[in-house]
Structure 1
Amino acid sequence: MKYVVLIHSNPQPWGHPTGDTVAEHQALPKAERDRLNSDFEKLLSELQANGELLGGEALGDPATSRLYRYSGRPVVTDGPYSESKEHLAGFFLIDVDTPERADAVAQTFAGPGETIELRPIHVF
């Protein structure tokens, strides 16, 4: 079962890893930040070792994006997509055996000041 893990984060300031720039993460005690970072790195290593991690990328600052809409013809505008506190910061593509495993992965990805969206890949 393939899923995409979408990481939404506040774009001000924009940076990766997002925890390094998100105020809620930075407000935690150092020991807690270190634990969260360690748990995340452990999960990534596990996903890679199991062949469950298919890929992922950090995305650039949403202010640098361009939007392409169709209104009788293609119309191009500067991004980001919408006025929002959070924007898509990056994604990981995973292939796991069960929805429960996908939920466990997404829960580990969730960090202070971020929203994680877990979405199944549509099979045609």
Structure 2
Amino acid sequence: MKYVLLIHSTPQPWGHPTGNTVAEHQALPKAERDRLNSNFEKLLSELQENGELLGGEALGDPITSRLYRYTGRPVVTDGPYSEAKEHLAGFFLIDVDSPERADEIAQVFAGPGETIELRPIHVF
């Protein structure tokens, strides 16, 4: 079963890993930040070793994005979204045996100041 983990965040200034610039993460005691970062790195290594991690990318600053909408004709505007606080910061594509495994992974990805969207890949 393939899933995408979409990382929504508001780092200021925009940067990766997002935890380095998200106020909620930075407000934690250093020991807690270190623990969360270690757990995340451990999970990434595990996913790579067992073949569950198919790929992923960090995305650029949302100020550089453009929106293309169709309203009878294509209309282009600066992005990323109107009235949005959080922006898509990056994604990871995983291939796991069960929805439960995907949930386990998403819980480790979820960090202070970030929202993780777990979405199954549509199979045609």
TM, length-normalised to structure 2? 0.97
Structure 1: runs of 5+ lacking an equivalent:
none
Q: Tell me what 1:106 maps to.
A: 106
Q: Per-residue deviation at 1:12?
A: 3.1
Q: Tell me what 2:122 maps to.
A: 122
Using the alignment, how far apart are the partners of 1:117 and 1:108 within structure 2?
12
Compare 45-54 and 80-89 and name the one that shifted more: 80-89
Q: Is the 8 A contact 1:3 1:119 kept in 2?
A: yes
Compare 5-14 and 28-37 and name the one that shifted more: 5-14
1:56-104 Cα deviation digits (max 9, x unpaired): 0001111110111112221111111222111110000000001110000
Q: Is the 8 A contact 1:11 1:62 kept in 2?
A: no
Using the alignment, how far apart are the partners of 2:95 and 2:82 within structure 1?
30
Aligned residue for 2:44, secondary structure, equals: helix
**Percent pairwise identity:** 90
Compare 4-13 and 24-33 and name the one that shifted more: 4-13
Matches within 5 A, 1:1-124: 1-124=1-124
Aligned residue for 2:57, secondary structure, equals: strand
**In 2 relative to 1, CA 11–75 (structure 1 residues): closer, same or farther, beyond 3 Å?**
farther
Using the alignment, how far apart are the partners of 1:119 and 1:39 within structure 2?
22
Q: Per-residue deviation at 1:11?
A: 4.4
Q: What stretches of structure 1 move > 3 A for 4+ residues in a row?
A: none
Supply the RMSD in Å over aligned alpha carbons. 0.9
Give the length in aligned residue pairs.
Answer: 124
Aligned residue for 1:123, secondary structure, equals: coil
Using the alignment, how far apart are the partners of 2:9 and 2:90 within structure 1?
9
Q: Is the 8 A contact 1:4 1:118 kept in 2?
A: yes
